[in-house]
Amino acid sequence: MVIATTITDSKEELHSTFASRYARTSLPKFVMPEQAISKDAAYQIINDELMLDGNPRLNLASFVTTWMEPECDKLIMASLNKNYVDMDEYPVTTELQNRCVNMIAHLFHAPVQVDETAIGVGTVGSSEAIMLAGLAFKRKWQARRRSEGKPCDKPNIVTGANVQVCWEKFAKYFEVELKEVKLRKDYYIMDPVKAVEMVDENTICVATILGSTLTGEFEDVKLLNELLVKRNKETGWNTPIHVDAASGGFIAPFIYPDLEWDFRLPLVKSINVSGHKYGLVYAGVGWVVWRSQDDLPEDLVFHINYLGSDQPTFTLNFSKGSSQIIAQYYQFIRLGFEGYKNIMETCMSNARVLKEGLEKMGRFEIISKDVGVPLVAFSLKNSSKHTVFEISESLRRYGWIVPAYTMPPDAEEVAVLRAVIREDFSRSLAERLTSDIEKVLKQIEALPPRISTRAAHLISTRDTHLIGSVSDTPVATEELERSVRESQSQVAMECRNAGREKVSGVC
Amino acid sequence: MVLSKIGSESDVSVHSTFASRYVRHSLPRSKMGENSMPKDAAYQIINDELMLDGNPRLNLASFVTTWMEPECNKLMMDSINKNYVDMDEYPVTTDLQNRCVNIIANLFNAPLEDGEAGVGVGTVGSSEAIMLAGLAFKRKWQNRRRAEGKPFDKPNIVTGANVQVCWEKFANYFEVELKEVKLREGYYVMDPVKAVELVDENTICVAAILGSTLNGEFEDVKLLNDLLLEKNKLTGWDTSIHVDAASGGFIAPFLYPELEWDFRLPLVKSINVSGHKYGLVYAGIGWIIWRNKEDLPEELIFHINYLGADQPTFTLNFSKGSSQIIAQYYQLIRLGYEGYKNIMENCHENAMVLKEGLESTGRFNIVSKDNGVPLVAFSLKDNLRYNEFEISDMLKRFGWIVPAYTMPPDAQHVTVLRVVIRQDFSRTLAERLVIDINKVIKQLDALPRNSLLIKVELSGEEKPKRTPLEIQKDITDTWKKFVMAKKPKLVC
């Protein structure tokens, strides 16, 4: 009898994934492993480790879309392998981008004729959009200064201190000075009067936010425009405005159509909006639109000839996926104006429900305004014993991610919690969050105050990550550290001794 | 008898998509529509229009991955709603990125201790990676010049003319002068000797390419390193090297492990590689690795505090999807060294099969080298009757997308066709492509002679006798102008 053996290894393929050796070995973290492993094992291992990531839909810190319809998921999957930049090979995808640009330009009342193409481009997010807009302003300003025979080596940009980190990045990477208008207690956005005062001959533009990250407020672009028009008349500097409508750009046109913040104001030359925020698409798409051809210097644009017609491109990224652009177009035609309006109205309504639920508890002060991005920012009326940071931590045990952070200068003593209401945050979730916050308050109150409030603020600021803002508060002094350590060990002991109620984790 | 009527008209939602009114109306193109439409209709309409896009897998122009295993597709879809930048909320995803950086740094022989973290970051592609690398070089150079009390307003970068467009973008947007080493016929990469000659005190770095877009060649980074070391000794300028290994970075370590091109060479300070090329992930991921902390100026890094631990970030993009990063880690552990090696060897094999098939037609010169990125760049031996652009056009009718382009200066008279061999380009497809190219040649041969050529020949009595090379150049120029009017700039 001849027995022929072909496979040397004992039938690895037969093993159920968790029976195989793969579940027993440590995953490579530093060096590429020598051998391949089966795809099922690779899938299972990675999938399992990822279970420990937060649940995107319970992440109330983020404005970025976390749910789309299955039909759209299908379109996204089908186009995962399309490299967007291959405009010649994927002409339809390119055209879908152009249609989106046109639609958004019209939504923002760009002065575009009926059959004229709007000037704009799809980007990976508002960061790229802002860098492109900033670059256009910088180049225009340099050209103007050069023609006037004046120095052009010290450009600056005027914004509020509530600005998102990508403006700081733009300033640093493209060598533009950032002149920030400081905030103050109860006024957490850029003051147009102060902003215009800061404008000088080196200012390439004033950047205003429609939908501040911190409180969701809309800045008063109309007032800024009026003041700046006056100033420009006096100085002859012709300083323009850029509106960072990352969040607000897909809210204002539907809920506040009479609010003048876009190209209806003559000094607004470019606007960016995140497709992946209230544009209702997954992370990875933003849009920037310019008022007209003049506002985008030609020497920044690379030209691609596409079957006879010219396709200008001006992006930082080159190869990238096509999925999000197709998804954006899906949302535009699927929802239309009425669809977006309905969704935004629902978000505002759910935000109100949450706000009222919090007000009823009598412990919170609502910092966010009713008009703005649908979010609720709230602080504790009395934070001498317990802080919002503790509430944020405790809420995590219920599965909610609600960030706590301190305001930028000059309002650093104010600490807030912020819950962003996205499309997929239904009323039942709003009610559940309210009841969980109530539970958390009860639990925290039963505990002794952990550490002095000031220390809590400082330490929590050092330890907590704020999405979209870098807040660097000075480190606590040595004395404070010591008292912190003492208090912490005291609390730890009390917790060990006291019988604590078991809190259920995330289901 | 009572007849009760339930609905007034039959309910819209009952209609099959193609029976509904939605397929009768023109889709909004410039203004958002007033009304919503059912999701099935929206899906169907967009899906159908997209049928007219090219088939990504038959797009032989691109280096970018067009196929991944279904298990990986599943992981990608599951993480499509994760915003990568939320490091606090998705610590595991962040950890996966860090592991990828470490693995790639070690693959490139970065001088790291055991268990030491690599210095690098995941980007959206090599463009972002290159801009970050360039920014680091620029800032380092500026700091050094400032410390020396010298002017720092005219930085420049030395590269070859074969460089990819993102270098031109970097130079334009970040106000750095681009000093290009011109190519010449038969030598389509950057000449290290000429490059080093172009270096001056304002040079922030010399950028070498491992895997030129045009013909897949690896530039001689070792020679560049040696020559630059010598020059640095003479001048004291301390100019360093960046290696654009967008394509080659995931090929050389597996096929040519002895080739010294990476951090083994002391002057190489940063390397970028595209995860979405031979990293075998879909479009949307690149990697940039620095030799060590000193090569990345601290002032460019933004710090985000993550539950007490510091997470430095230095990227142009902020919010972006997590799918590709997870997919990259999947590939690295799924394939391992042997898996990548096998795939690259297969690609190389299939490239040879295609090359031999083309050679056996007797009509083509092979412009690409055997060593390098697995692609075949070829030009017609005789392009008086018809040229490479026509072949490219005809191949489209068979479904293949094979781009034709002319070389950059000073080799603009040379036109090539280029086929990139990706992971999913099997031998069967290679053989089929050869068959189809043969068909195309037969068809073109049967056509009457090019009318343009006749025009050139007839006007010959007033002009001096022109050499074949001149005639060839004329025709190429004319065709180039005609086709360039409808052809895009070359995309890698």
B257 interface with A at CB cutoff 8 Å: no
Confidence of residue B410 (pLDDT cuts 50, 70, 90): confident
Chain B, residues 296-315, CB within 8 A of chain A, namely: 299-300, 302-308, 311
What's residue B25's pLDDT?
A: 75
In this predicted structure, the answer to whether residue A3 has a pLDDT above a threshold of 50 is no
Kindly identify which residue of chain A lies nearest to residue B281, measuring between CA atoms: A81
Say whether B56 and A33 touch across the interface (CB within 8 A): no
Q: How many domains are contained in chain B? A: 2
Q: Do B245 and B137 reside in the same domain of the chain?
A: yes
Count of beta carbons in the 10 Å neighbourhood of residue B186 = 8
Confidence of residue A432 (pLDDT cuts 50, 70, 90): very high
In this predicted structure, the answer to whether residue B10 has a pLDDT above a threshold of 90 is no
Kindly identify which residue of chain A lies nearest to residue B489, measuring between CA atoms: A304
Say whether B42 and A71 touch across the interface (CB within 8 A): yes
Classify residue B96 as exposed, middle or buried by CB count within 10 Å of its CB (0-12, 13-18, 19+): buried
A454-468, B117-131, B289-303, B384-398 — which is least confidently predicted? Answer: A454-468
Residue that is last in its domain, among B303, B333, B363 = B333
Confidence of residue B477 (pLDDT cuts 50, 70, 90): low
Q: Do B383 and B298 reside in the same domain of the chain?
A: no
The CATH number for B398's domain is 3.90.1150.160
Count of beta carbons in the 10 Å neighbourhood of residue B25 = 11
Say whether A305 and B486 touch across the interface (CB within 8 A): yes
Chain A, residues 460-479, CB within 8 A of chain B, namely: 462-465, 467-468, 470, 472
Among residues A393, A496, A42, A190, the alpha carbon closest in space to that of B332 is found at: A42
pLDDT tens track for A198-228:
999 999 999 999 999 888 999 999 999 999 9
A487-496, B197-206, B297-306 — which is least confidently predicted? Answer: A487-496
A310 interface with B at CB cutoff 8 Å: no
* Separation CA A34–CA A13 (nearest Å): 19
Q: Do B322 and B358 reside in the same domain of the chain?
A: no
CA distance B188 to chain A (A): 23
Side chain identity, residue A116: E
For range B312-334, the mean pLDDT? 90
Q: Do B145 and B108 reside in the same domain of the chain?
A: yes
Residues of chain B found within 8 Å of residue A68, distances taken between Cβ atoms = 81
Q: Do B349 and B329 reside in the same domain of the chain?
A: no
pLDDT tens track for A165-207:
889 889 999 999 999 999 888 888 999 999 999 999 999 999 9
Count CA atoms within 13 Å of residue B391 on its CB side: 30
Q: Which two tokens stand for residue A456?
A: 């809590």
In this predicted structure, the answer to whether residue A313 has a pLDDT above a threshold of 60 is yes
Q: Cβ(B202)–Cβ(B156) under 8 Å?
A: yes
Kindly identify which residue of chain A lies nearest to residue B164, measuring between CA atoms: A318
For range A232-244, the mean pLDDT? 95
Range of the domain at B299: 74-333
Residues of chain A found within 8 Å of residue B66, distances taken between Cβ atoms = 81
Residues of chain B found within 8 Å of residue A174, distances taken between Cβ atoms = 173-174
pLDDT tens track for B252-271:
999 999 999 999 999 999 99
What's residue B252's pLDDT?
A: 96
* Separation CA B75–CA B395 (nearest Å): 36
The answer to whether the bond into B436 is cis (omega within 30° of 0) is no
* Separation CA A378–CA A366 (nearest Å): 4
Residues of chain A found within 8 Å of residue B300, distances taken between Cβ atoms = 172-173
CA B343, distance to chain mean position in Å, is: 19
A486-495, B110-119, B422-431 — which is least confidently predicted? Answer: A486-495
Distances (CA, A) of B466 to A129, B461, B462: 52, 11, 11
Among residues B256, B254, B156, the alpha carbon closest in space to that of B201 is found at: B156
What's residue B472's pLDDT?
A: 61
For range B218-243, the mean pLDDT? 96
Among residues A45, A19, A49, the alpha carbon closest in space to that of B333 is found at: A45
State the sign of the Cα–Cα–Cα–Cα dihedral B362, B366, B370, B374. Answer: negative
Mean pLDDT of chain A: 84
Residue B261 domain flag: yes
Among residues A138, A101, A103, A91, the alpha carbon closest in space to that of A122 is found at: A101
What's residue A336's pLDDT?
A: 93
Q: Do B375 and B262 reside in the same domain of the chain?
A: no
What's residue A506's pLDDT?
A: 22
pLDDT tens track for A120-146:
999 999 999 999 999 999 999 999 999
Size of interface A-B (CB pairs under 8 A): 371
Q: Do B225 and B358 reside in the same domain of the chain?
A: no
Residues of chain A found within 8 Å of residue B491, distances taken between Cβ atoms = 83, 85-88
Q: Cβ(A125)–Cβ(B321) under 8 Å?
A: no
Confidence of residue A404 (pLDDT cuts 50, 70, 90): confident
Residue B58 domain flag: no
Torsions phi, psi of A185, nearest 5? -55, 135
Q: Which of B317, B326, B330, B405 to mutate to test the interface with A (most CBs of A within 10 A)?
A: B317
Kindly identify which residue of chain A lies nearest to residue B68, measuring between CA atoms: A81
In this predicted structure, the answer to whether residue B476 has a pLDDT above a threshold of 80 is no
Mean pLDDT of chain B: 86
Residue B101 domain flag: yes
- Computed on alpha carbons and rounded to an integer, the radius of gyration of chain A in Å comes to 26
Chain A, residues 212-271, CB within 8 A of chain B, namely: none
Among residues A175, A185, A166, A88, the alpha carbon closest in space to that of A139 is found at: A175
Residue B116 domain flag: yes
In this predicted structure, the answer to whether residue A407 has a pLDDT above a threshold of 50 is yes
Say whether B106 and A31 touch across the interface (CB within 8 A): yes
Confidence of residue A458 (pLDDT cuts 50, 70, 90): low
In this predicted structure, the answer to whether residue A486 has a pLDDT above a threshold of 70 is no
In this predicted structure, the answer to whether residue B367 has a pLDDT above a threshold of 70 is yes
For range A62-76, the mean pLDDT? 94
For range A376-385, the mean pLDDT? 90
Q: Cβ(A77)–Cβ(B323) under 8 Å?
A: no
Give me the interface pTM, i.e. the ipTM.
Answer: 0.85
State the sign of the Cα–Cα–Cα–Cα dihedral B301, B304, B305, B307. Answer: negative
For range A36-48, the mean pLDDT? 91
Distances (CA, A) of B431 to A381, B357, B428: 75, 8, 5
Residue B288 domain flag: yes
Non-local CB neighbours of A257 within 8 Å, separated by 6+ positions: none
Confidence of residue B479 (pLDDT cuts 50, 70, 90): low
Q: Nearest CB to B33: which of A50, A168, A333?
A: A333
Side chain identity, residue B281: V
Say whether B43 and A72 touch across the interface (CB within 8 A): yes
Print burial letters for A98-112: b (CB count within 10 Å at least 16), e (below 16).
bbbbbbbbbbbbbeb
Confidence of residue B27 (pLDDT cuts 50, 70, 90): confident
Kindly identify which residue of chain B lies nearest to residue A34, measuring between CA atoms: B337
What's residue A276's pLDDT?
A: 95
Confidence of residue A448 (pLDDT cuts 50, 70, 90): confident
* Separation CA A198–CA B299 (nearest Å): 25
For range B285-305, the mean pLDDT? 88
User: H/E element holding A227?
Assistant: helix A221-235
CA A281, distance to chain mean position in Å, is: 13
- For the entire predicted model, the pTM comes to 0.85
Q: In angstroms, how far apart are the furthest CA atoms of chain A?
A: 104
What's residue A179's pLDDT?
A: 96
Residue B51 domain flag: no
B28 interface with A at CB cutoff 8 Å: yes
Non-local CB neighbours of B123 within 8 Å, separated by 6+ positions: B129, B132, B272, B285, B286, B287, B288, B315, B316, B317
Residue B62 domain flag: no
Q: Kindly report the CA angle at B413 between B408 and B417, in degrees rounded to 5?
A: 75
What's residue B450's pLDDT?
A: 56
Q: Nearest CB to A89: which of B61, B93, B485?
A: B61
Q: Do B350 and B325 reside in the same domain of the chain?
A: no
Q: Cβ(B218)–Cβ(B372) under 8 Å?
A: yes
For range B58-85, the mean pLDDT? 92
Residue B52 domain flag: no
The CATH number for B126's domain is 3.40.640.10
Say whether A401 and B102 touch across the interface (CB within 8 A): no
Non-local CB neighbours of B257 within 8 Å, separated by 6+ positions: none
What's residue B408's pLDDT?
A: 78
* Separation CA B67–CA A26 (nearest Å): 28
Q: Do B324 and B403 reside in the same domain of the chain?
A: no
Q: Do B290 and B176 reside in the same domain of the chain?
A: yes
Partners of A139 in beta bridges:
none
Confidence of residue B478 (pLDDT cuts 50, 70, 90): low
Among residues A94, A97, A469, A124, the alpha carbon closest in space to that of A274 is found at: A124
3-state secondary structure chain B: CCCCCCCCCCCHHHCCHHHCHHHCCCCCCCCCCCCCCCHHHHHHHHHHHHCCCCCHHHECCCCCCCCCCHHHHHHHHHCCCCECCCCCCCHHHHHHHHHHHHHHHHHCCCCCCCCCCCEEEEECCHHHHHHHHHHHHHHHHHHHHHHHCCCCCCCEEEEECCCCHHHHHHHHHCCCEEEEECCECCECCCCHHHHHHHCCCCEEEEEEEECCCCCCCECCHHHHHHHHHHHHHHHCCCCCEEEECCCHHHCHHHHCCCCCCCCCCCCEEEEEEECCCCCCCCCCCEEEEECCHHHCCHHHCEEEEECCEEEEECCCCCCCECHHHHHHHHHHHHHHHHHHHHHHHHHHHHHHHHHHHHHCCCCEEECCCCCCCCEEEEEECCCCCCCHHHHHHHHHHCCCECCEEECCCCCCCCEEEEEECCCCCCHHHHHHHHHHHHHHHHHHHHCCCCHHHHHHHHHHHCCCCCCHHHHHHHHHHHHHHHHHCCCCCCCC
Q: Do B181 and B322 reside in the same domain of the chain?
A: yes
What's residue A473's pLDDT?
A: 39
Residue that is last in its domain, among B301, B333, B365 = B333
Distances (CA, A) of B471 to B441, B452, B467: 21, 10, 6
CA distance B189 to chain A (A): 22
What's residue B184's pLDDT?
A: 87
In this predicted structure, the answer to whether residue A475 has a pLDDT above a threshold of 50 is no
Side chain identity, residue B200: D
Instruction: Classify A95 as helix, strand or coil.
Output: helix
State the sign of the Cα–Cα–Cα–Cα dihedral B325, A326, A331, B73. Answer: negative
Chain A, residues 109-138, CB within 8 A of chain B, namely: 114-115, 118, 124-128, 131, 135
Confidence of residue A89 (pLDDT cuts 50, 70, 90): confident
* Separation CA A448–CA A61 (nearest Å): 28
* Separation CA B79–CA B84 (nearest Å): 9
Among residues A275, A322, A297, the alpha carbon closest in space to that of A133 is found at: A297
A344 interface with B at CB cutoff 8 Å: no
pLDDT tens track for A241-250:
999 999 999 9
CA distance B466 to chain A (A): 32
B169 interface with A at CB cutoff 8 Å: yes
* Separation CA B44–CA B163 (nearest Å): 41
A17-26, A482-491, B160-169, B475-484 — which is least confidently predicted? Answer: A482-491
In this predicted structure, the answer to whether residue B12 has a pLDDT above a threshold of 70 is no
CA distance A70 to chain B (A): 9
What's residue B87's pLDDT?
A: 82
Query: Who wins on pLDDT, A242 or A479?
Result: A242
Residue that is last in its domain, among B308, B333, B358 = B333
In this predicted structure, the answer to whether residue B146 has a pLDDT above a threshold of 70 is yes
Q: Cβ(B63)–Cβ(B274) under 8 Å?
A: yes
A184 interface with B at CB cutoff 8 Å: no
Chain B, residues 116-135, CB within 8 A of chain A, namely: 124-128, 131, 135
B482 interface with A at CB cutoff 8 Å: no
B106 interface with A at CB cutoff 8 Å: yes
Kindly identify which residue of chain A lies nearest to residue B38, measuring between CA atoms: A334
Say whether B317 and A174 touch across the interface (CB within 8 A): no
Residues of chain B found within 8 Å of residue A128, distances taken between Cβ atoms = 316-317
Q: Do B160 and B203 reside in the same domain of the chain?
A: yes
For range B388-411, the mean pLDDT? 88
What's residue A5's pLDDT?
A: 39
* Separation CA B486–CA A242 (nearest Å): 35
